[in-house]
Structure 1
Amino acid sequence: MTAAVPVAGHRFIIVGGASLVGSATAAELLDAGAAEVVLFDNFSMGSDAAIAHLKDNPRLRLVRGDVMRLPDLLRAMEGCDGALLLAAYMTLNMNTDPWGGLDVNVRGVQNALEAARANKVRKVVFASSNAVYGYGPGVKGDLVEDTPFHSVGAPPAAILYGATKIIGEQLCRDAKRRFGQDYVVLRYSTVYGERQHYRAANALYIIETWDKVKRGERPQVFGDGSETKHFVYVGDLARANRMAFESPATDVAVNTSGPKPVTTLELVRMVTKLAGSDVEPEFVGDTPGKVRLTSGGAFRIAHEEAFAAIGWKPEVDMEEGLARLMRWIDGNEARAA
């Protein structure tokens, strides 16, 4: 039996669905003809605003539930053909509540996989992260799928987050070995785009820069601006999630990154230009107590394996993706006013 799950005519659940990636993927699946998309969320981090544009779709069903309660997941997954596992604490949340993060990112994944097994869900797509490669001076060069984990010199919250994603991947592998559960792991880069949330340290930097420039202030660049960042546009990622279900691939983990890396200085200059300003950035040192994710220098998150496994590659470059995000922010600020 093939591991491919065609989207058209089938039912899917997105665990952690009231989110940036969840809402974009729900729209992608509905547009591709899914019979039903279930958004499962406890709304501790997700928001009604993130899914407001989908609520009138008769093939969308919203279920309030918690990954820490297995019965919630068991009921919600009944009749589903595919499950996208998004629910997680990210680094900033892990910094404030590491115990809660370990619970959700480990036991929550265990619960979701058990619910998938019990309901005979055909395929699971697990949202992992390039955090499985770690942070700090050891992270450099091409980061390919067998690159080891680096932890020296990085904030504990970042390492805890990366370690939980490694555990989540291994729980998927274990479910495949024990029960034959088909799965694909996608290692997301930092996601940005319309309906941007404020929980990812690097994505937050985009918004902070935009807000400063709009207020007429100089944007801040940490260090000399050469620090490498990796982003992926949310629409590209929604497409990757769909293609992971539709592909015959199983028992694989692949990177889903944007077309190319960007330095902090390049990013700030792009945002400043899009804001219609030519103000020069202010170069500053680190703020004590602020969690920032740093690398040791230039690196590239290689996404060639994703094309080999599921036929995916990124299409939206950083400047175009930022322009879409800024148009969305401007439109929503205007409506809010």
Structure 2
Amino acid sequence: MPSYKRALVTGGAGFIGSHLTERLLADGWIVTVIDDLSEGKWANLPRHKNLTKHKRSILDPITALVKRTDVIFHLAALPRLKRSLDDPWQTHRVNVEGTLNLLLAAKAATVKKFIFASSSSIYGNRNHPPFHENMIPDPLVPYSLHKVIGESYCRMFSQVWKLPTVSLRYFNVYGPRMNPDSPYANLLPKFIKLMSQGKTPRINGNGRQTRDFTYVDDVVEATILAARSPISGEVFNIGSGNTISVLRVVELLNKYLDKRIRPTHGPPVIEPRATLANNAKARRLLGWRPTIPFEEGLTRMVQHV
């Protein structure tokens, strides 16, 4: 197993990035974080002698920061399906051109590993769950297409320029530090905040859509295992392998918050009907195992609020 010491984390002040940065520091890495703070905040990160922070876009010239880096963990993006529909041009620039900018810098600096955060949303609705990595992507919105393009760039850089890359398709990551106040907030933090205040959550559609929620600590573990692995040019599903409906999420939140709130329903939106990972490849080749059941992870989120 390779021994790496220096990491660059893009989007490191965000939800997943801050958890990854904390874990890397705890494991003895020297970490540089790049974040434009459009989604993240420095308050998510600890003060640490081995942590350096830069407020910067991934579209900026970045070669100097990449020098002497062993591993780039590329988590920065303008996320959310709806956001990419509202602003396809700017999200494309950041999510696609920003990724290419980082890959070119990594190639120039002969970085030892490049980890790309992809998304389960690439599977769309034509594929039937559980999803496995050799299914043909069916992106429903620009954001999902951006991730498909990012994966293709990573594969090409691995094959043509021998830059070791791994793409990880994260499935519905959740946990503490998710922002409930963003106009593009995810379902879980938004519903927890509303219901804890006695307010009614609004479900898009009938609520029978299902999600493979994967706890952030499990995702961080998979990400580090991918960095440590000698494997290159591959794609992995990082999901719990279990699924739950949105209606069931509301039932559980009523239970944990001691509420009896009935959700309202709005029209359906453009989104996958279901996400469910076949994670056998990650188990076999990375030695990864998800460890946090959804009800335990949801309890942690509620307690954090």
Is TM-score (shorter-chain normalized) higher than 0.5? Answer: yes
C-alpha distance in structure 1 between counterparts of 2:272 and 2:135, whole Å: 17
Give the C-alpha shift of residue 127 in structure 1. Answer: 0.3
Question: Is the Cα contact below 8 Å between 1:5 and 1:81 reproduced in 2?
Answer: no
Aligned pair partner of 1:37 in 23, 31, 41: 31
For the pair 1:327 / 2:291, whether they are aligned, the reply is no
Secondary structure of the 2:276 match is strand
Q: Which amino acid aligns with 2:135?
A: T
Aligned pair partner of 2:271 in 273, 280, 293: 293
C-alpha distance in structure 1 between counterparts of 2:272 and 2:69, whole Å: 39
Q: 1:191 to 1:322 in 2, by over 3 A?
A: same
Give the C-alpha shift of residue 222 in structure 1. Answer: 4.3
Unaligned runs of 5+ in 2: none
- State the match for 2:65 in structure 1: 76
Q: 1:42 to 1:299 in 2, by over 3 A?
A: closer
- Overall identity of the aligned pairs, in %: 28
Q: Which amino acid aligns with 1:167?
A: I
Q: 1:92 to 1:49 in 2, by over 3 A?
A: farther
- State the match for 1:89 in structure 2: 78
- State the match for 2:190 in structure 1: 208
C-alpha distance in structure 1 between counterparts of 2:275 and 2:214, whole Å: 15
Aligned pair partner of 1:171 in 132, 153, 162: 153
Question: Is the Cα contact below 8 Å between 1:92 and 1:200 reproduced in 2?
Answer: no
Task: Please give the root-mean-square deviation of Cα atoms over the aligned residues, in Å.
Answer: 2.0
Give the C-alpha shift of residue 324 in structure 1. Answer: 1.1
C-alpha distance in structure 1 between counterparts of 2:200 and 2:258, whole Å: 13
Question: Is the Cα contact below 8 Å between 1:223 and 1:283 reproduced in 2?
Answer: no
- State the match for 1:270 in structure 2: 252
For the pair 1:60 / 2:54, whether they are aligned, the reply is no
C-alpha distance in structure 2 between counterparts of 1:260 and 1:75, whole Å: 42
Aligned pair partner of 2:168 in 176, 182, 186: 186
Q: 1:63 to 1:179 in 2, by over 3 A?
A: same
Q: Which amino acid aligns with 1:130?
A: S
- State the match for 1:332 in structure 2: none
Unaligned runs of 5+ in 1: 330-337
- State the match for 1:147 in structure 2: 135
Question: Is the Cα contact below 8 Å between 1:125 and 1:184 reproduced in 2?
Answer: yes
Question: Is the Cα contact below 8 Å between 2:115 and 2:227 reproduced in 1?
Answer: yes
Secondary structure of the 1:108 match is helix
Question: Is the Cα contact below 8 Å between 1:5 and 1:122 reproduced in 2?
Answer: no
Q: Which amino acid aligns with 2:287?
A: G
C-alpha distance in structure 2 between counterparts of 1:237 and 1:262, whole Å: 18
Give the C-alpha shift of residue 170 in structure 1. Answer: 0.6
- State the match for 1:318 in structure 2: 294
- Deviation readout 1:81-124 (Å, 9 max, x if unpaired): 00001111112331332111111111111110011111111000
Give the C-alpha shift of residue 292 in structure 1. Answer: 5.3
For the pair 1:24 / 2:24, whether they are aligned, the reply is no
- Deviation readout 1:132-171 (Å, 9 max, x if unpaired): 112x4x24232110112235xx5xxxx2111110100010
Q: 1:230 to 1:256 in 2, by over 3 A?
A: same
- State the match for 1:225 in structure 2: 207
- Deviation readout 1:269-307 (Å, 9 max, x if unpaired): 112211122x152352327xxx55241xx5522111111
C-alpha distance in structure 1 between counterparts of 2:71 and 2:148, whole Å: 22
C-alpha distance in structure 2 between counterparts of 1:42 and 1:224, whole Å: 36
Q: How does 1:241-256 map to 2 (within 5 A)?
A: 241-256=223-238
Query: What is the TM-score of this pair, normalised by structure 2?
Result: 0.92
Give the C-alpha shift of residue 15 in structure 1. Answer: 1.2
Q: Which amino acid aligns with 1:216?
A: G
Question: Is the Cα contact below 8 Å between 2:200 and 2:264 reproduced in 1?
Answer: no
Q: 1:15 to 1:131 in 2, by over 3 A?
A: same
Query: What is the TM-score of this pair, normalised by structure 1?
Result: 0.84
Moved more, 123-132 or 138-147: 138-147
Secondary structure of the 2:237 match is strand
Q: Which amino acid aligns with 2:63?
A: L
- State the match for 1:5 in structure 2: 2
- State the match for 1:303 in structure 2: 279
C-alpha distance in structure 1 between counterparts of 2:138 and 2:104, whole Å: 30
- Deviation readout 1:236-264 (Å, 9 max, x if unpaired): 11111111111122111010012411111
Q: 1:163 to 1:29 in 2, by over 3 A?
A: same
C-alpha distance in structure 2 between counterparts of 1:218 and 1:105, whole Å: 34
